[in-house]
């Protein structure tokens, strides 16, 4: 099946498979019990500096995405996610952003696809 995205605020489902939070900060208003996480992959999220800059300049998403891809290429955290894709039938990447299309998790999912992971739309 592969990787898929879901907001952490949405209810957990049995079909989610292995659930991974890919935000550096814990999402507001969500208890650890309600999140039903298997893993919190803080290190795969954008660096604090990049995240802060992007939140101040939302109109620069393309620049943010490019710089975030550079961070993913340079680190090991995203490669560890690739390994999870071989260990689990489905991996659901959880994120807290309101915008389901313009956020770091969509960039991460595309990075995983570009590096050989099976990705669900």
Mean pLDDT of 5-11: 96
Q: Which residues contact 39 (CB under 8 A, 6 or more apart)?
A: 18, 19, 20, 21, 84
DSSP state of 47: P
CA–CA dist 82, 97 (Å, integer): 22
CA–CA dist 85, 67 (Å, integer): 24
- Residue holding tokens 């498979």? 17
Give the confidence band of 53 by pLDDT, cuts at 50, 70, 90: confident
The token duo for 67 is 């710089």
Cα Rg, the chain, nearest whole Å: 14
Strands 90-95 and 39-40: unpaired
**Which of 108, 101, 95 is CA-nearest to residue 22?**
95
pLDDT of 26 > 90? The answer is yes
CA–CA dist 89, 18 (Å, integer): 8
Share of the chain above pLDDT 90, in %: 84
- The whole-model pTM stands at 0.93
């Amino acid at each position: 099946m592969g990787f898929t995205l879901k907001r952490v605020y949405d209810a957990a489902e049995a079909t989610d498979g292995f659930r991974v939070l890919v935000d550096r900060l814990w999402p507001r208003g969500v208890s650890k019990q309600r999140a039903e996480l298997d893993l919190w992959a803080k290190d795969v999220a954008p660096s604090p500096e990049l995240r802060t800059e992007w939140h101040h300049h939302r109109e620069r998403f393309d620049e943010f995405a490019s710089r975030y891809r550079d961070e993913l290429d340079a680190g090991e955290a995203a490669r560890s996610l690739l390994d999870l894709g071989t260990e689990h039938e489905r991996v659901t990447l959880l994120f807290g952003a309101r915008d389901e299309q313009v956020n770091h998790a969509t960039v991460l999912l595309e990075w995983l696809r570009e590096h050989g992971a099976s990705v669900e739309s």
